[in-house]
Structure 1
Amino acid sequence: MGRFLLVVYVVVVKVVALVVGVVMAGGSGGPGAPRVPALVPPPAVGYVPAGGTNDVSPRATVTAFVANGTFTDVALRGPGGRPVAGEFNAERTAWTVREPLGYGQAYTWRGTAAGTDGTLVRLAGSFTTARPEQTVRARINIDDGTTVGIAAPIAIRFEGPVRDRAAVERALSVRTSVPVEGSWAWLPADSNGELRVHWRPREYWPPGTRVTVTADLYGVHYGDGAFGAKNITRTFTIGRPQIVKADVNTHRMIVIRDGRQVADFPASYGSGSHPATVTRSGIHVVSAMYKSVRMASPRFGYDGMYASAVLISANGEFIHANPESLRQQGRVNVTHGCVNLSPKNARTYFNMAMYGDPVVVTGTSIPLSLADGDYADWTFRWEAWQRLSALR
């Protein structure tokens, strides 16, 4: 009886040892151990913005991405099935839109992602872009490829409301070929009733500077359902340094170019008999030029055509020819606020001037201000100008 139990015990021990050995071999990955196949996760596709999203900004980053796989093909289609331009990253795990989207449009994903195990997943889903209540056009005051004077402000005017000025200002940039310190400033509506933002350098522009202005406004939400209508870019050059010095008490108008006096004209300025006839003191900016322009004032009883007219303030101040005041030019101030020159001298100055030239008037009782025109930018001290930025 005892011997039988001993034999059974030995057999049981050997069986247990064999089972334990098999389990240990499988756990240690030793030779001959059974292999358990690893689980391979299928490809997972995601989207930014998420599928079903509405009111997506046309400026938003739009991307499809895949984990545990790569894209074989991707397409984002807009109205009418038109494909949107986009590109893969180097690993083909992401595809990103590379063109602006339209307003108020539905876009649908199509394509395939392949997992490392060969599993295929189809792209699907859609989103819709914002539909503006209003699109607001903007325009820049300086034409592409032009040359302007050293005091030229950059002015962007908006043909509609701009509630979120900070969002708009963040979309604006000024790049220069040499370092130039400057700032944007939001000013009251101009003489046409349009809201405007101006960029002005701290000091006069360095001559020869190449300037590129970019208003990346398409898709920017201006607030209250208004969005930017389109992007605008302008490139221009700063011309020779020319400054007009107009001291009303000397009855002369002197032109300085490249630091040298190039002209000294007898002139007549505002009589000062009424506040409206005072030529404003301060830095004016040449803003328009007319070979001939009609000037009329029922209040002061004049109406006529005047040649070689250079507008220096939207309040009606011109440098222009006036043969009627020829005898007073260089001697006494008799005008209604303009700067009168002889026909010959006015024509000479007209041919010397360009948009953006500074005209510095001194010696009068009333300073130039924003109430006098669209380009009174230089009436601000630099610190006050900077405070007019929406980003300060």
Structure 2
Amino acid sequence: MERRTVFKAVLATGAAALAAACSTSTDGTALPLGGSGDSGNGGKPVDPVAKITATPAVNAKDANVREPVVVQVTDGKLSEVKVTDADGDEVEGDLSADGLTWKSSEPLGYGKTYTYSAKATGADQRPVELTGSFATVEPAKQVRATLNPADDAHVGVAMPISVKFKQAPKDRAAVEKALKVKTDAEGAWGWISPTQVDWRPKEYWPENTTVEVEANLYGVDLGGGAYGKADVTTKFKIGRNQVVKVHTPDHVMKVYRGGAEAKSYPCSNGLDSDVNRNTPNGTFIVMSKEPTAVFDNARYGYTNVNKKWACRISNHGEYIHENQDNAAAIGKTNNSHGCINLLDADAKDFFDSALIGDPVEVTGSQLQSPTGSDVKDWFYDWSTWKTLSAVK
């Protein structure tokens, strides 16, 4: 009898062990040994401890293409992360050394759907997985911007940085926040038209310095459903410090290098007796250099007049150029239609020395600065210039 009793006890114990090894969840799915069957939890399934989360979240819409995709795990370590587009191409990214975070390292595309596949192993040695997809914003319009000066340009000390848009952005502050100027010079952005924002230093650029600019506009919400089409960058060099000064009543154009007078040329400026023909006051810049230029002004009765060594200083119509035909007046009287006339040899000498962006300071005129010019950055004093920024 004692031996039979012991045998029954052994059978009972074996049956209990078998029941623990093959317990099932409430939906009838078999759970592995050591799995979610837990007598301390009333037989209810126990979730794995690791949790995977993602930004953008699964099923997110209109995700920002510029913000990185971030996949994170708590109470575990990531073993695999893939983010792929509809063509199966993987988004580049890096897993942190501690295995807790994966972050993308390239921008996303507009109007695309991306799929997550992330795996991790928890502190309880149980695997977890994240799957799903999200969609990025699809702009109503993508707006292209251009940046000036161009790469490797060599420019004068008054040269502004200009960002121009094909369409006027509504959110100007968002644009400015996406722009970066790498320089030690103090300066600020200012909107000089609905489609153009310029950066100029408070004072002229320090000579012989290198400037880098980043316009990180891709993914920037410009307002009204428009987004930036692409990033634009440039790296350029400031040249020697050359400043041109003309006090119109003196009939002399002086050129200063490093603050010291280097050249002095006799000149003839705009006709004094007609304000509309005056060479206007203001700080201009050399905008372009043209070995020959054709001048037309039907209002004053001349067309197809060819002149040499022409440096444009305003879109209002003013140039510094040769006018040997006016030699009798040069250095003696002002009789031009607004341009600064020089003798042929002097015009060539100045032309050869000039850089785009050199400042030309005109004083003594009755005509004030032509605000219609699209290069008018230096017409503003510093305090007024700063009010043109959209970032307050």
Gaps of 5+ in 2: 1-38
| Cα separation, 2, equivalents of 1:69 and 1:40 | 13
Q: Is the 8 A contact 2:158 2:359 kept in 1?
A: yes
Are 2:370 and 1:365 aligned? Answer: no
Superposed, which structure 2 residues align to 1:87-236 within 5 Å?
87-176=94-183, 179-189=184-194, 195-236=195-236
Q: Is the 8 A contact 1:290 1:309 kept in 2?
A: yes
| Cα separation, 2, equivalents of 1:37 and 1:342 | 103
Tell me the amino acid that sits aligned with residue 297 of structure 1.
N
Structure 1 partner of 2:79: 72
Q: Is the 8 A contact 2:120 2:128 kept in 1?
A: yes
Q: Is the 8 A contact 1:171 1:216 kept in 2?
A: yes
Seen in structure 2, the aligned counterparts of structure 1 residues 298 and 344 have a Cα distance that, compared at 3 Å, is same
- Choose from 48, 59, 76 the match for 2:55: 48
TM-score, with length taken from structure 1:
0.86
Structure 2 partner of 1:321: 322
Structure 1 partner of 2:336: 335
Structure 2 partner of 1:6: none
Helix, strand or coil at the partner of 1:51: coil
| Cα separation, 2, equivalents of 1:133 and 1:236 | 34
Q: Is the 8 A contact 2:48 2:127 kept in 1?
A: no
CA offsets 1:209-263 (integer angstroms, 9 cap, x no match): 2111111111000000000111111111211111111111111111111222221
Q: Is the 8 A contact 1:40 1:117 kept in 2?
A: no
| Cα separation, 1, equivalents of 2:310 and 2:87 | 54
| Cα separation, 2, equivalents of 1:257 and 1:305 | 30
Q: By how many angstroms is 1:68 displaced? A: 1.9
Tell me the amino acid that sits aligned with residue 185 of structure 1.
G
Q: By how many angstroms is 1:37 displaced? A: 8.6
| Cα separation, 1, equivalents of 2:386 and 2:148 | 21
Helix, strand or coil at the partner of 2:94: strand
RMSD: 1.6
Q: Is the 8 A contact 1:41 1:68 kept in 2?
A: no
Helix, strand or coil at the partner of 2:369: coil
Q: By how many angstroms is 1:323 displaced? A: 1.8
CA offsets 1:348-391 (integer angstroms, 9 cap, x no match): 110000011111111100121422x1221111111111111111
| Cα separation, 1, equivalents of 2:103 and 2:233 | 25
Helix, strand or coil at the partner of 2:167: coil
TM-score, with length taken from structure 2:
0.86
Structure 2 partner of 1:301: 301
Deviates further, 37-46 or 133-142: 37-46
Tell me the amino acid that sits aligned with residue 257 of structure 1.
R
Structure 2 partner of 1:263: 263
| Cα separation, 2, equivalents of 1:276 and 1:173 | 40
Tell me the amino acid that sits aligned with residue 97 of structure 1.
S
Q: By how many angstroms is 1:322 displaced? A: 1.3
Q: Is the 8 A contact 2:68 2:106 kept in 1?
A: no
Tell me the amino acid that sits aligned with residue 156 of structure 1.
V
Q: By how many angstroms is 1:123 displaced? A: 2.4
Q: By how many angstroms is 1:274 displaced? A: 3.7
Q: By how many angstroms is 1:275 displaced? A: 3.6
| Cα separation, 2, equivalents of 1:75 and 1:203 | 51
| Cα separation, 1, equivalents of 2:147 and 2:82 | 36
